[in-house]
Structure 1
Amino acid sequence: MDFTLLTRENTAVTYSPVIPPSFARYSVPVARELYATGDFGSLLFHEQAGPDFGLWHKSYFIKQSTSLTAVADGPLFQLCFSVNRTLRFQQNGMGKIRLPEGQFNIWYAPAVHSQTWFEKGKKYLVYEIHFSRNYLEKLAPYFPLVAEFLMKAELGFSSQLSPVHAHITPEMMMILQNMYNCYYKGDVKAAYLQALLSRLLLQALTRLTLVKVPVNEIKLQPYELSKLREAWEYLLHHIEHPGTVIDLSHAIGLNDFKLKKGFKQLYGVTIFEFLLEARMEKARRLLQETAMTVHAVAISVGYKNISSFTVAFKKKFGILPSEVTGNNAARLEG
């Protein structure tokens, strides 16, 4: 869906399809690219369009505290992931919403009029998927929450699928990145993106249905949030040898209590659970996309004991790593 973006002064933001050299490293040639600049800073949006849906990768480079208002005619179903920084926005008919970093939810609006606030000197990264009602209708029989959500939409009410946001998993981030970096064209691109969206929606709805109200949260300062983001990146880049929690604590400069408690609070999983999920997702990808042996894959994701890797893989995906061939490979996509 195309939309108009208004500044705090109610002036329409003018987009250009030309990306300046300073932003060239962010370019994705196969995607639709939109760049804009102003007193607020710079914006860089990418859209990967699929059948009846679009994936938006939105980067906001904010120079001064401001707000931007998105306006569009027609209804919108939107799955929104706040990857970097907490989003604060207000949609007509819903009031103010806070979407913490690392979390997501699904919203519906009969017409878009959404104001988002941004802080000076911050970079925001957001993934949005705009899709048709049909995608949710197919899954409604399996998720009562979705049926209720669609009923509100039918009555013309702005609504949020789950009262509590859910946490983005490493596997969900991998799906989003694969959609964003899709270099296929034509029918192959449409089929590829549609398959990934179905998988992502199923995981998102499952997590939103099971999510519980958080209790006993600790207050995290901005520098502590930055350190926790470092921990996330460190673990992804040191899957083979992540070290102990104390090692990680020393590596990022955050005490182990804040590290363990804050990581679980921010990302919804413990450090161990995150590492296991990331290892299994990397192993799945290597087994599907490369000719590496099971032994080599196990070593590359940090397992010295092959039997331990096999047990963990089967528990996660329901099949042995040696069975990831032919038709069995498709089972990992569910």
Structure 2
Amino acid sequence: MIVKVQNEQGGFDSYQNQYLIEVDQQAGVVQRKIIVPDPAAQWSITELSTDQFSIIYAFSELTRNIVVRAEQTKPSVRFFTQLAGHNLVRSSCQPDRPYQANQYSLMYTPAFEGDMQFSGSTVSTLVIEFADGYFGRFLDEGVEQLDRLAEKMDQQQPYAIIPNHSFATPAMKVIVYDILNCPFVGMVKRLFLEAKLLELIALQMDQLETTRLTGSFKSDDVDKLIAVKEWLNEHFLQPVTLLDVARSAGLNDFKLKKGFRELFNTTVFSYLTDLRMTYARRQLLAGKQTVSEVADALSYKHVQHFTYAFRRYFGYLPGGLRD
């Protein structure tokens, strides 16, 4: 992928020749890193590429809204997620696609040239591009969206497998975090990345079924259930009850419990647990908080209760992440 940043005169500057390039011959991985010297947006871009996939991560703290132009010359299936900030993607071959933080899409594009209009004090984006041949082995004629994808790939036409209003689940966020913080080198690194990418694809294929189920709900109820999920994403650190959640979206208990399970393939409190445990693991791995501080942030009265819940969820004690 070729990336250019819009300058103050309205033109686009390319920094491709400023990449620091490392090649791991054994693993077949090329790593490129660049710091874009824009006074309004110090972009940090890291790209890991193999013959089958590319992983591109970009991070910036902005002093103004900026536009980034991306060009892709080869067909690919692309997982695009906006990790932080807001982004409006515009291209000649597809409708405009706005993204909030944690929204993602999965789509096929025969080629791509478009602008990404970023806003927010901190923005970060992750793009994973799969070679169409690599992704083709997952096509299944028994799944309508995948059958449609195969048809579009044959016709070399763009197709959104999962639309851009989808939100990354806590499990997906854990995988993204693991990918961005891969501790390995050499062939072990490639095996680790491929395993995580396959896990991510599996979760996305599972979400296709969830997308199909939305047709059995009234659109108003779907909007309310999505609002519940967004409310949980913002309030998961505080103690909440089912009544709190139901009131936040104007749903009764029955509709909330039944609808949330059918739409998102999990219960309200299982999703809440996912959010809380993912937060705890992330904070401990980053060394930002102690076990006691994380327990307090999650409103546990006793640190032992948090330790038990963490071990039951992950299978190991939280203190092991700090050793």
TM-score (ref. length: structure 2) = 0.66
In structure 2, the partner of 1:124 is: 123
In structure 2, the partner of 1:21 is: none
Question: Where does the alignment leave 5 or more consecutive residues of structure 2 unmatched?
Answer: 21-29, 225-229, 283-302, 317-323
* Aligned equivalents of 2:46, 2:130: Cα separation in 1: 16
One-letter amino acid of the structure 1 residue matched with residue 309 of structure 2: G
Does structure 2 retain, via aligned residues, the 8 Å contact 1:7–1:13? no
Instruction: State the Cα distance separating 1:129 from its structure 2 match.
Output: 0.6
Does structure 2 retain, via aligned residues, the 8 Å contact 1:89–1:114? yes
- The answer to whether residue 248 in structure 2 is matched with residue 257 in structure 1 is yes
* Aligned equivalents of 2:308, 2:14: Cα separation in 1: 45
Instruction: State the Cα distance separating 1:43 from its structure 2 match.
Output: 1.2
- The answer to whether residue 8 in structure 2 is matched with residue 11 in structure 1 is no
| Match among 271, 275, 281 for residue 274 of structure 1 | 271
Does structure 1 retain, via aligned residues, the 8 Å contact 2:82–2:100? yes
| Match among 225, 235, 238 for residue 231 of structure 1 | 235
Q: Against the structure 1 CA distance between its residues 167 and 13, is the aligned structure 2 distance closer, same or farther, given a 3 Å change threshold? A: same
- Cα deviation digits, residues 120-144 of structure 1 (max 9, x gap): x532121111111233222212533
- Cα deviation digits, residues 113-164 of structure 1 (max 9, x gap): 0111123x53212111111123322221253312211321221212211346
In structure 2, the partner of 1:91 is: 91
Does structure 1 retain, via aligned residues, the 8 Å contact 2:97–2:164? no
* Aligned equivalents of 1:143, 1:297: Cα separation in 2: 45
- Cα deviation digits, residues 205-254 of structure 1 (max 9, x gap): 21134223763647xxxxxx8x976535x4xxxxxxx53459x99xxxxx
One-letter amino acid of the structure 1 residue matched with residue 12 of structure 2: T
Identity %: 17
Q: Against the structure 1 CA distance between its residues 91 and 149, is the aligned structure 2 distance closer, same or farther, given a 3 Å change threshold? A: farther
Structure 1, 207-216 or 182-191: larger mean CA deviation: 207-216
Q: What is the RMSD of the two structures over their aligned residues, measured on CA atoms?
A: 4.3
One-letter amino acid of the structure 1 residue matched with residue 235 of structure 2: A
Does structure 2 retain, via aligned residues, the 8 Å contact 1:283–1:298? no
Which secondary structure state, in structure 1, belongs to the residue aligned with residue 137 of structure 2? helix
One-letter amino acid of the structure 2 residue matched with residue 116 of structure 1: M
* Aligned equivalents of 1:297, 1:77: Cα separation in 2: 45
* Aligned equivalents of 2:93, 2:144: Cα separation in 1: 23
In structure 2, the partner of 1:182 is: 182
One-letter amino acid of the structure 2 residue matched with residue 157 of structure 1: Q
Q: Against the structure 1 CA distance between its residues 164 and 122, is the aligned structure 2 distance closer, same or farther, given a 3 Å change threshold? A: closer
Instruction: State the Cα distance separating 1:96 from its structure 2 match.
Output: 0.8
Instruction: State the Cα distance separating 1:176 from its structure 2 match.
Output: 1.0
Which secondary structure state, in structure 2, belongs to the residue aligned with residue 165 of structure 1? strand
Structure 1, 88-97 or 137-146: larger mean CA deviation: 137-146
1:175-324 mapped onto 2 (5 Å cutoff)? 175-211=175-211, 212=214, 215=220, 217=223, 231=235, 234=237, 243-244=239-240, 257=248, 272-278=269-275, 299-300=306-307, 302=309
In structure 2, the partner of 1:139 is: 138
In structure 1, the partner of 2:105 is: 105
Question: Where does the alignment leave 5 or more consecutive residues of structure 1 unmatched?
Answer: 19-29, 219-224, 235-241, 250-255, 286-295, 323-334
Which secondary structure state, in structure 2, belongs to the residue aligned with residue 95 of structure 1? coil
1:148-163 mapped onto 2 (5 Å cutoff)? 148-163=148-163
- Cα deviation digits, residues 12-61 of structure 1 (max 9, x gap): 2325457xxxxxxxxxxx96422103254221112234551122222132
Which secondary structure state, in structure 2, belongs to the residue aligned with residue 85 of structure 1? strand
In structure 2, the partner of 1:60 is: 60
Instruction: State the Cα distance separating 1:110 from its structure 2 match.
Output: 1.8
Which secondary structure state, in structure 2, belongs to the residue aligned with residue 74 of structure 1? coil
- Cα deviation digits, residues 282-325 of structure 1 (max 9, x gap): 9999xxxxxxxxxx99852538xx9xx5xxx6xxx9xxx69xxx
Instruction: State the Cα distance separating 1:10 from its structure 2 match.
Output: 2.8
Q: Against the structure 1 CA distance between its residues 190 and 182, is the aligned structure 2 distance closer, same or farther, given a 3 Å change threshold? A: same
Count, aligned residues: 264
Q: Against the structure 1 CA distance between its residues 301 and 143, is the aligned structure 2 distance closer, same or farther, given a 3 Å change threshold? A: farther
* Aligned equivalents of 2:179, 2:193: Cα separation in 1: 6
Structure with greater proportional strand content: 2
Which secondary structure state, in structure 2, belongs to the residue aligned with residue 196 of structure 1? helix
